Amino acid sequence: NAGVTQTPKFRILKIGQSMTLQCTQDMNHNYMYWYRQDPGMGLKLIYYSVGAGITDKGEVPNGYNVSRSTTEDFPLRLELAAPSQTSVYFCASSYLQGLGEQYFGPGTRLTVT
Amino acid sequence: AQTVTQSQPEMSVQEAETVTLSCTYDTSESNYYLFWYKQPPSRQMILVIRQEAYKQQNATENRFSVNFQKAAKSFSLKISDSQLGDTAMYFCAFMRGSGNTPLVFGKGTRLSVIA
């Protein structure tokens, strides 16, 4: 199993551009999450999903959108990128019997200039 | 809302010594999990140890153990026989309920193990 994969690993955007961060897991996990990590800080929840077709906002959802059309994929869309969205983005997944453990992808480092 | 506080931004320890990282949390939930995650320079988030709130016994994983004080809402991590590979950011995290809810993270403690 590849686990949780994220693409791209790095990206530089100009202010106002848009992009989609891809996240895929091959473990058949129902639950998926997007977090962002600002320099010197812990991770904060952007959006999460409890299954295909179901998503919900987290602590910092403004400027982002998500969709969950399949169990495997949970893309994060940035519209009209702003410098405040410069961060490292982590996708994670978990399963019902997993006793809370979340499996993290390697992260995407995004810089908006 | 739940909050997690790590009061030590940075710590250092000599190789083979023992170090304790502090974490406190605030919640009105009775059912929850607590975690310590390690983030080495590679940026990968690695689960170190997990504690279920209903369990009185402190969790241990090899050289890693916790001191869980539920009444005090304290959850410290002890690393014994520190190794150079333990150098990393360590995050304390809270999960409400019985699992599969989002994690709430502290700001982290940067641990340096010195040879």
Please name the member of A58, A100, A106 whose beta carbon is closest to the beta carbon of B100: A100
Residues of A in contact with B47 (CB under 8 A): 101-102
pLDDT at B45 exceeding the cut of 90: yes
Strand order in the sheet with A64-66: A4-7, A19-25, A76-78, A64-66
pLDDT score, position B79: 98
Q: What is the spatial distance between Cα B56 and Cα B102, in angstroms, rounded to a whole number? A: 23
Confidence label for B70 from pLDDT (cuts 50, 70 and 90): very high
Decide if B91 touches A, using CB distance below 8 A: yes
What average pLDDT does the structure give for chain B?
95
Confidence label for A97 from pLDDT (cuts 50, 70 and 90): confident
Q: What is the spatial distance between Cα B11 and Cα B111, in angstroms, rounded to a whole number? A: 5
Mean pLDDT, residues B54-74 taken together: 96
Phi, psi values for residue B83, rounded to 5°: -120, 155
B7-26 per-position pLDDT tens digit: 999 999 999 999 999 999 99
Decide if B13 touches A, using CB distance below 8 A: no
Backbone φ/ψ region at B3: left (φ over 0), alpha (ψ -120 to 50), beta: beta
pLDDT score, position B1: 82
pLDDT score, position B113: 98
Residues of A in contact with B91 (CB under 8 A): 42-43
Mean pLDDT, residues A27-49 taken together: 95
Instruction: Say whether A99 and B33 touch across the interface (CB within 8 A).
Output: yes
Instruction: Say whether A100 and B44 touch across the interface (CB within 8 A).
Output: no
Q: What is the spatial distance between Cα A21 and Cα A91, in angstroms, rounded to a whole number? A: 9
Instruction: Say whether A42 and B95 touch across the interface (CB within 8 A).
Output: no
Structure tokens at A49: 């999903």
Residue of B nearest to A88 (CA): B43
Answer positive or negative: Cα dihedral of B85, B89, B100, A33.
negative
Phi, psi values for residue B60, rounded to 5°: -135, 145
pLDDT at A56 exceeding the cut of 90: yes
Residues of B in contact with A33 (CB under 8 A): 102-103
Decide if B49 touches A, using CB distance below 8 A: no
Decide if B99 touches A, using CB distance below 8 A: yes
Strands (E), A67-107: 76-78, 87-94, 103-104
Decide if B22 touches A, using CB distance below 8 A: no
